Structure 1
């Protein structure tokens, strides 16, 4: 088992809260992790039909079987249990009783806020990070990661990414989508997901998607929300600071797993990535998710945005540290040129102070400073941010 960075934070929170809830995409490793860390607790899977029916028909009788708590997997499949769990933890006043997992972000969050507000710590486990993989897979470069993605099964069972991600897509559409929505035309929805991959790293334009698919703007917004809820799409919101510039209001579209985006683009081997017109966008997605995983794996909420004004000046990632911003540019090229620093110069005319410096993530191997900017590659992201936050 590849150690997960979030493990120590999960274990620590179980000593401080009666309930700890871990969300994240299907097959991100939630079940493996919680069963490993809490192997002394009984395990219950709400995907099991008979178990779920028992929990739904007789929630008190069901929970009486677990008077000392349990690990309950896919809790969103039996959301009414949360109210009964609230009663138990309020009565017993013991920490670490229940460890819950769920794969439906919105549905689970709504039920948690209604039933377990203040009683449950909430964590998010995404698929592997580069930081978690590099000790065992030091030979992999960024092209490998873009092709493979980060779902644990691909690494644990040495699966061919194209086959594994195709199965994942079919399972996701056939099971999760049918549970979460009443989409009538699944083939049209599949086409929509693939079109989203073609817009990776770009501003979300629902009107454009609506025209290309032939459905209403409302439907597109519903589908976008559905993909966010099930941890497929990640929307990076624009920075809205108190500055005298007209800033864009639309978010940028990314995928939680860059390998899944590559599959949707029809990429079947790593050599196709090297010449692909969206290589830069895929690399940007890779870097953004590594920054996001750095936050989530430390039990923190994401603090990311991007900057773009009406003149086209842009910073790929703003990493917030208290009231300050760390601007991060992402370039897939392996040769650093002066043009890589242009956006830093432009944004510095609007925001004059960056006390934590600036960072450039690129496709090469350097780790040094140029033009008052820290140069790093994808393998340096975790230690670099850790050092920045300790300043």
Structure 2
């Protein structure tokens, strides 16, 4: 068994768990929730084991009697667990008592939201900074706080990022040999289609149709493609298409399994940026799943950059999947910085910013470029946004595949992705 690799969320837990009585770690299967939670546990109850479900059901007082901290793994398999923990916190709100790890929303919802008693943290596949050995030299949190320092060099080049796209951020998959990793990713999708969706109360009547829809959704990575266009791409040549309610059910159940991780559209406050698109950008939980669903490995991504993708955003598969890898990492980094991640696009598509990190009145704008160099054309949308936002835009950066972090004469920062961390 490999040694535990510290995660960004460990810093969050170290900071808040001693003060909070109960925290729910939400995320798809295989991201490492159990390993992270168990490192803080005096007791672990694994509800993916029938005998522990039976024991826990027969004696709910275990919630309060068990030595703390108590980790309840796959708690959604016994939804009343949520209310048992909530009531225990009502009686004793001292910090550091409960960690709930869940890989799906419960089929039957708890009777109470848990607001004020149970705090939720999202856990995702490994961000890039959690995968590499060297320490990033540019901090997203520092940039949000107005630190203009942008320095550092890396020897990472495009093939390194392509390797990370296909390697996966699931800890149990990424270090497998290439063929075994592809089989593991295939198995992950098969489990979702044949087992996990059924456990969520949804019977998949046409598994091939769902797989085709997932492949089309993968093709919409980093885009605001409509769900109609995704369905059309999934059913080319089919006269008998799934109904709209069926595809909505796909989306809803896959979201309950934390397999879809869209980036919401930015709703700017206090600044007029024209008519703003409200469509979210599509992302699967891990860009390696998207690459595998499209049958794209390292050599294919490097050789066939013009693989057809879906949606109004420009870019071939490699560029869109690279943005997916950046987005996965930024989701982790902004959560650590107590910020929110979104994207901006006006309705005409005239102006577009790949990613927006926002905390309070502070806004950091990011463009993602699959290139080692940055031209004036690459920063035109960032400069447009700065003209309209003034000091509220604390910084603007372009995330690249280059080797050196620096700041351009126009003030825009250029940061190789391998140098950017929480």
Greater helix share, 1 or 2? 1
Check whether the contact 1:291–1:381 (CA below 8 A) recurs between aligned residues: no
CA distance in 1, matches of 2:273, 2:15: 44
Check whether the contact 2:340–2:359 (CA below 8 A) recurs between aligned residues: no
Question: Alpha carbons of 1:59 and 1:219: their partners in 2 closer, same or farther (altered >3 Å)?
Answer: farther
Question: Alpha carbons of 1:271 and 1:59: their partners in 2 closer, same or farther (altered >3 Å)?
Answer: same
**Cα offset, 1:361, TM superposition:** 0.6
Question: Alpha carbons of 1:59 and 1:307: their partners in 2 closer, same or farther (altered >3 Å)?
Answer: farther
Corresponding residue for 1:48?
A: 49
Aligned match for 1:148, one of 142, 152, 167: 167
Corresponding residue for 1:372?
A: 411
Aligned runs of 1:263-342 on 2, under 5 Å?
A: 263-268=292-297, 270-275=298-303, 276-277=305-306, 278-296=317-335, 298=336, 300=338, 302-342=340-380
Question: Alpha carbons of 1:11 and 1:325: their partners in 2 closer, same or farther (altered >3 Å)?
Answer: closer
Check whether the contact 2:405–2:414 (CA below 8 A) recurs between aligned residues: yes
SS in 1 for 2:24: strand
CA distance in 2, matches of 1:356, 1:91: 44
Corresponding residue for 1:21?
A: 24
CA distance in 2, matches of 1:329, 1:110: 39
1:286-322 C-alpha deviation (Å, 9 max, x unpaired): 11111111123x2746333323341422111111132
**Cα offset, 1:98, TM superposition:** 1.8
Aligned runs of 1:47-86 on 2, under 5 Å?
A: 47-56=48-57, 58-60=58-60, 62-63=62-63, 66=66, 68=68, 70-86=70-86
Q: TM-score with structure 2 length normalisation?
A: 0.81
Corresponding residue for 2:256?
A: 229
Aligned runs of 1:167-246 on 2, under 5 Å?
A: 167-180=187-200, 181-212=202-233, 213=235, 214-241=241-268, 242-243=271-272, 245-246=274-275
**Cα offset, 1:257, TM superposition:** 0.8
**Cα offset, 1:352, TM superposition:** 4.5
Question: Alpha carbons of 1:343 and 1:218: their partners in 2 closer, same or farther (altered >3 Å)?
Answer: same
Question: Alpha carbons of 1:217 and 1:79: their partners in 2 closer, same or farther (altered >3 Å)?
Answer: same
- The alignment yields a C-alpha RMSD, in angstroms, of 2.6
**Cα offset, 1:229, TM superposition:** 2.2
Question: Does residue 39 of structure 2 align to residue 12 of structure 1?
Answer: no
Aligned runs of 1:330-369 on 2, under 5 Å?
A: 330-348=368-386, 350-369=388-407
SS in 2 for 1:182: coil
Question: Alpha carbons of 1:68 and 1:204: their partners in 2 closer, same or farther (altered >3 Å)?
Answer: same
Question: Alpha carbons of 1:183 and 1:318: their partners in 2 closer, same or farther (altered >3 Å)?
Answer: same
Check whether the contact 2:260–2:285 (CA below 8 A) recurs between aligned residues: yes
Corresponding residue for 1:161?
A: 181
Question: Alpha carbons of 1:90 and 1:348: their partners in 2 closer, same or farther (altered >3 Å)?
Answer: closer
CA distance in 2, matches of 1:240, 1:326: 14
Check whether the contact 1:147–1:161 (CA below 8 A) recurs between aligned residues: no
**Cα offset, 1:62, TM superposition:** 4.7
Check whether the contact 2:40–2:69 (CA below 8 A) recurs between aligned residues: no
Question: Alpha carbons of 1:165 and 1:301: their partners in 2 closer, same or farther (altered >3 Å)?
Answer: farther
1:124-173 C-alpha deviation (Å, 9 max, x unpaired): 21111111121179878211111112110124555643122112111222
CA distance in 2, matches of 1:127, 1:322: 26
Aligned residue pairs total 376
**Cα offset, 1:32, TM superposition:** 1.1
CA distance in 1, matches of 2:414, 2:86: 49
**Cα offset, 1:341, TM superposition:** 1.7
**Cα offset, 1:243, TM superposition:** 1.4
Question: Bigger shift: 254-263 or 130-139?
Answer: 130-139
Q: Which runs of 5+ in 2 are unaligned?
A: 136-154, 236-240, 307-316
**Cα offset, 1:250, TM superposition:** 1.5
SS in 2 for 1:254: coil
Aligned match for 2:131, one of 122, 130, 133: 133
